[in-house]
Amino acid sequence: MIAAIRRVRREVPGAASIVAELCTAHDYDDPGKPAIAWDDKPAREALVSALVNDATPVVNALSGNEFDEEARDKAEQALALLALIAGQDVEPAEGSDGTDGRWRIARKVAKDRVISVVDPDTRHVHKSVASRQDGYKAHLAVEPDTGLVTAARLTKGTGTDNHEATVAGSLLDTDTALREVREVLGDSAYGTGEFRADLARRELTAVIKPLPLRPAVEGGVTMDDFLVDEVAGSVTCPNGVTKHITAKRAVTFGVACRNCPLRTRCTTSEQGRILRLHEHDALLRQARHHWRSDPDLRATYRQHRPMVERSISWLIGPKGRCRKLRYRGIDASNQWLHRRAAALNLRRLLNLGLTRTAGTWAIA
């Protein structure tokens, strides 16, 4: 928040005098951390309250101002960023209604949380519970025989619109080689029902590892042990009990679970087992069945995945040095990603024997 206030003071006309007059929580000429006892909880909470109470009047005093055209964009962005940061990570302190100026760090993570004042488009990116990075996501479409990148896009690291399976559809739209494509390969991140339905509409074969099923009881009954009849609108459990699928695609077995001999392997809920069927449940079930029963499908996946992983490895460079971007913002970093992919494609083509004969380029 200190950095955001300093940015407003620097980029918003007239802000310097307002910050000097209204802001007392910190010496804003000092870019360092405030000199408090960081292991003292009351001191930390007092600092949070003071910083929020500095930011709020600055935003209120400047948000209605008219700025000249040259300064308008930077000024409005700086004020919007300060307002966002002052609100996204704090909540009223215990016993406060939010009007007495007492605040604390929120016990939750704000949706689409801004993590950097310097590069506001960056986000926390979680590959797993234990693995977290800050930055962006790079999405690639790769021709698996040659390793050539046929489409690329850089997005924010979080949000449903930036999920791998969502972005994959736009990569297929921009891939000029799509008319030659018959199969689309991907790991389990691309195994969503929506993306599989999209591939079916495009008449493309999905060679995608299914998302793993997580039983309610470890080692117990999974969704695939229930028989779903979409025509009849019903689901039959492993014990032979049939229930109706509701309009919201929920199935409640309720009292039927009380004396069921499979209950300990099926659910731990006192209300009995409740299923929530995905909109594309039939596609997902079919995909899991094919993956289990079709060795050729698994062989095709295992055959081509290494080349794709190798292309990703080339992209991030030795020791992952290209993970660190040289630019700020999505647009500039996305342009870098495309330049990097183009350079790698050229190097790959040369290694494959690209030559020019009689005015025509060809791979030997």
pLDDT confidence of residue 125: 80
The answer to whether the CB of 297 falls within 8 A of the CB of 290 is yes
How deeply is 45 buried, as exposed, middle or buried, from its count of CB atoms within 10 A (0-12, 13-18, 19+)?
middle
pLDDT confidence of residue 9: 92
pLDDT confidence of residue 32: 83
Return the residue matching tokens 């007492």: 102
How deeply is 19 buried, as exposed, middle or buried, from its count of CB atoms within 10 A (0-12, 13-18, 19+)?
buried
The answer to whether the CB of 165 falls within 8 A of the CB of 191 is yes
pLDDT tens, per residue, the chain with 364 residues: 888 899 999 999 888 999 998 898 888 888 888 888 888 888 888 898 999 999 998 988 888 788 888 888 888 888 888 888 888 888 888 888 878 888 888 877 777 778 787 888 888 887 666 677 888 999 999 999 999 999 999 999 888 889 999 999 889 888 666 567 788 999 999 999 999 999 999 899 999 999 889 898 999 999 999 999 999 999 999 999 999 999 999 999 999 999 999 999 999 999 999 999 999 999 999 999 999 999 999 999 999 999 999 999 999 998 888 888 889 999 999 999 999 999 999 999 999 998 888 888 888 7
In Å, how far are 27, 142, 242, 243 from 254, measured between CA atoms? 62, 48, 12, 10
pLDDT confidence of residue 351: 92
Helices (H), 89-232: 164-174, 193-201
Return the residue matching tokens 């991140």: 189
Return the residue matching tokens 């921009």: 174
User: How many other CB atoms are found less than 10 A from the CB of residue 301?
Assistant: 18
Residue ranges covered by each domain of the chain = 2-105, 123-181+296-363, 190-293
In Å, how far are 217, 223, 275 from 228, measured between CA atoms? 20, 9, 11
